[in-house]
């Protein structure tokens, strides 16, 4: 069955989830968590994302984001690729870390943002053994939890610079000086009684988080985009992989090799990363070798052809390079538009 297209538009708000492959852990310790949070902050700054809140769990992550530039996929590629490379190197593993595509549901503006923020922030006390603890124990656990944006929102700790709290706090019915305290009370009421009405909306939201009218509008939009995509589909029998923007591919390669994408836009000899980028531009962006040459300063498609042949030979003996290529390849393949 074909995967649903990713709905991306300027100003969209998404509840984003990502999970470990086969439900395995994404973080082994606080060093891993700190690295992931730092990477979120860097990607927010680099790509102009508005991150409303986040919550890291052992084997999954929740984000609430707005995309003024309609660039959710690029934002998630930047985070996932960099963290996967870091995690695999640190823990001596190889292969895919995340489970397939990240989840992303469009949210119906103010009507559901406050309830969704409470749901996300309460995640740490509604999993595993935490569910069986007393109300006071869970309240203490929630207030002490260091790996979400809750402490900043609730006025219990310093707010992260990359978290934009203003839109959510503006929904709280209280004076400016009392909003954090009122928000804390609102969230912690959910410790005693869950919002079953909102949970029903959340779990039934195939097309987006909102009322029936909103979901119907999202369904119609999706159908329209799917039809448009089929009309412009490449009629050659290339591999049926969703096309990725060249910038997304170049960014993924640059992140994996720890360099700037500027390297890929000028002629550079003896640079395996540039050859990897050329290979993946052909595969995922549907570019011809001549197209790649014009983007990467190689002048001719023949030069690109020579680079790709040399790369194939190098991969036979360079295990580290082959491992990096495998990681980038799997991330790009798994999270197509």
Would residue 46 count as lying in a domain? yes
Would you say residue 236 lies in a domain?
A: no
- Shared domain for 113 and 221, answered yes or no, is yes
- DSSP class of 259: S
* Whether 42 and 116 share a structural domain: yes
Same domain, 205 and 254: no
140 and 258 assigned to the same domain: no
- We report the CATH number of the domain holding residue 89 as 3.30.70.1290
Whether residues 65 and 161 share a domain: the answer is yes
205 and 256 co-located in one domain: no
- Domain edge (last residue) among 225, 259, 294: 225
Whether residue 83 sits in one domain with residue 39: yes
Task: Answer whether residue 233 is part of any domain.
Answer: no
Based on the domain organization, do 189 and 219 belong to the same domain?
Answer: yes
| Residue 187 lies inside a defined structural domain of this protein | yes
Instruction: Determine the distance from the C-alpha atom of residue 306 to the mean position of all C-alpha atoms in its chain, rounded to a whole number.
Output: 35
Q: What tokens does 321 get?
A: 């390079």
- Listed residues 176, 191, 225: the one ending a domain: 225
pTM for the whole structure: 0.72
Residue with tokens 């959910």: 190
The span from the CA of 324 to the CA of 248, in Å, is 16
Integer Cα distance of 276 and 172 in angstroms: 49
Does residue 172 share a domain with residue 305? no
| 83 within domain boundaries | yes
Same domain membership, residue 171 and residue 301: no
Q: Are residues 36 and 131 in the same domain?
A: yes
Please check whether residues 210 and 250 belong to one and the same domain: no
Is 4 within a domain?
A: no
Range of the domain at 297: 246-334
**What's 292's domain CATH number?**
1.10.1750.10
Structural domain contains residue 329: yes
CA distance 100 to 241: 14
What are the start-end ranges of the H helices in 72-178?
Answer: 72-91, 109-121, 135-144, 150-153, 166-169
pLDDT along the chain (337 residues), means of 10: 69 95 94 98 96 97 96 94 94 89 88 94 92 94 98 97 96 93 97 90 84 83 71 42 78 88 74 88 81 77 77 82 85 68
CA 209 to chain centre: 18
Residue 231 belongs to some domain of the structure: no
- Our count of domains for the chain comes to 2
Would you say 282 and 288 are in contact if contact means Cβ atoms under 8 Å apart? yes
3-state secondary structure of 216: helix
Last residue of a domain, one of 192, 225, 258: 225
């Amino acid at each position: 069955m074909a995967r649903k297209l990713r709905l991306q538009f300027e100003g969209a708000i998404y509840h984003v989830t990502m999970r470990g492959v086969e439900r395995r852990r994404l973080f082994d310790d606080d060093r891993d968590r700190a690295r992931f949070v730092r990477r979120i902050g860097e990607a927010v700054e680099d790509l102009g994302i508005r991150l409303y809140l986040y919550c890291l769990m052992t084997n999954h992550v929740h984000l609430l984001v707005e995309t003024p530039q309609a660039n959710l996929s690029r934002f998630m590629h930047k985070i996932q690729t960099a963290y996967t490379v870091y995690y695999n190197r640190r823990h001596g593993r190889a292969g895919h870390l995340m489970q397939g595509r990240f989840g992303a549901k469009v949210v119906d503006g103010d009507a559901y943002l406050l309830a969704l923020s409470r749901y996300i922030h309460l995640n740490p006390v509604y999993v595993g053994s935490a569910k069986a603890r007393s109300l006071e124990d869970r309240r203490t656990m929630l207030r002490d939890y260091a790996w979400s944006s809750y402490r900043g929102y609730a006025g219990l700790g310093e707010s992260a610079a990359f978290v934009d709290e203003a839109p959510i706090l503006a929904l709280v019915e209280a004076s400016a000086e009392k909003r954090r305290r009122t928000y804390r009370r609102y969230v912690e009421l959910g410790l005693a009684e869950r919002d079953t009405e909102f949970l029903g909306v959340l779990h039934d939201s195939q097309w987006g988080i909102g009322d029936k009218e909103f979901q119907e509008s999202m369904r119609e939009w999706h159908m329209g985009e799917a039809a448009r995509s089929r009309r412009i589909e490449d009629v050659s029998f290339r591999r049926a992989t969703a096309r990725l923007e060249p910038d997304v591919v170049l960014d993924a390669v640059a992140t994996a090799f720890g360099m700037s994408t500027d390297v890929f836009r000028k002629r550079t000899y003896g640079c395996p990363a540039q050859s990897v980028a050329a290979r993946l531009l052909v595969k995922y962006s549907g570019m011809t070798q001549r197209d790649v040459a014009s983007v990467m300063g190689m002048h001719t498609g023949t030069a690109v052809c020579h680079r790709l042949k040399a790369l194939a030979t190098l991969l036979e003996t360079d295990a580290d390079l082959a491992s990096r290529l495998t990681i980038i390849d799997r991330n790009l393949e798994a999270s197509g538009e």
